Amino acid sequence: MAQPAGQPHSHGGGAPHVHGAAEVGNTPLPGAKPKTVVPATPISPSWVQLATNVEIIPNLEAVVKSPPGVMTHEGLFGPLLFAEETRAFFIELQPGMFLEEHPHDIGSIIYTVRGKWVLASEGKRHVMEAGSLFRFGDKMPTGWEAPFNEPALLLVVKPKGPTTSYDIFNRGINAMRTSVDKDRKGGMAFYYNELKPDHSAIKFARSVNPNFDAVLKIKYP
């Protein structure tokens, strides 16, 4: 027999499920827009518009596995959400990637979602793991290195600056990719196997990953 809306019942002895609960729990206040799902586009992720100025990405990993990520020699970059003063995006570092220390105009707060990687600054290195959080200030030189056998996913939050929309973010990342491609063709190293064998980054990588030789064998176009 069908259960009336709003009455709980269980399937297979599991937790009770309430028909009609979604509708009851998502009744907008007078004058408010209903909860909606904003679909993804070629340059922006899908998100849930819960309220007028409240947006949710239910699953970061799902965004990483689908457009609008842009692969560069510095990692896979993808936009997440924009707030009034800040923006969030992700970087997925691929095994074997190496980025020399360099200054960034605007500082960031970066959380490691999964995997391990190496943060470098002022000639010092630190292994970052899932759950690690750090920040760096404006103009502070930092670099990242990926000596481990699995990708590492980073969540980056920073001031919005001139990047005020998904379109501007996409154009900026693609311009960066073009610039990085040019730098690599000019001889700049972006992978461990492009460094000299006695480079300090390689020495450190061997000290933290016994299987680093397998990473060195990875070839990137």
Specify if 90 maps to a domain: yes
Quote the tokens at residue 18.
């309430």
At residue 18, does pLDDT exceed 80?
no
Backbone angles phi, psi at 189, to 5 degrees: -85, 135
Specify if 127 maps to a domain: yes
Q: What CATH number is associated with residue 59?
A: 2.60.120.10
Q: Report the percent of the chain where pLDDT is more than 90.
A: 83
Specify if 4 maps to a domain: no
pLDDT of residue 23: 53
Specify if 64 maps to a domain: yes
Task: State how many domains the chain has.
Answer: 1
Specify if 77 maps to a domain: yes
3-state secondary structure the chain: CCCCCCCEECCCCCCCEECCHHHHHCCCCCCCCCCEEECCECCECCEEEEECCEEECCCHHHHHCCCCCEEECCEEEEEEEECCCEEEEEEEECCCEEEEEEECCCCEEEEEEECEEEEEECCEEEEEECCCEEEECCCCEEEEECCCCCCEEEEEEEECCCCCCHHHHHHHHHHHHHHHHHHHHCCCCCEHHHCCCCCHHHHHHHHHCCCHHHHHCCCCC
pLDDT tens by residue, 46-78: 999 999 999 999 999 999 998 889 999 999 999
Task: Give me the chain's average pLDDT, please.
Answer: 90
Q: For the residues 31-36, what does the mean pLDDT come to?
A: 89
pLDDT of residue 16: 42
d(CA 4, CA 20): 9
Which domain range does residue 106 map to?
32-175+188-216
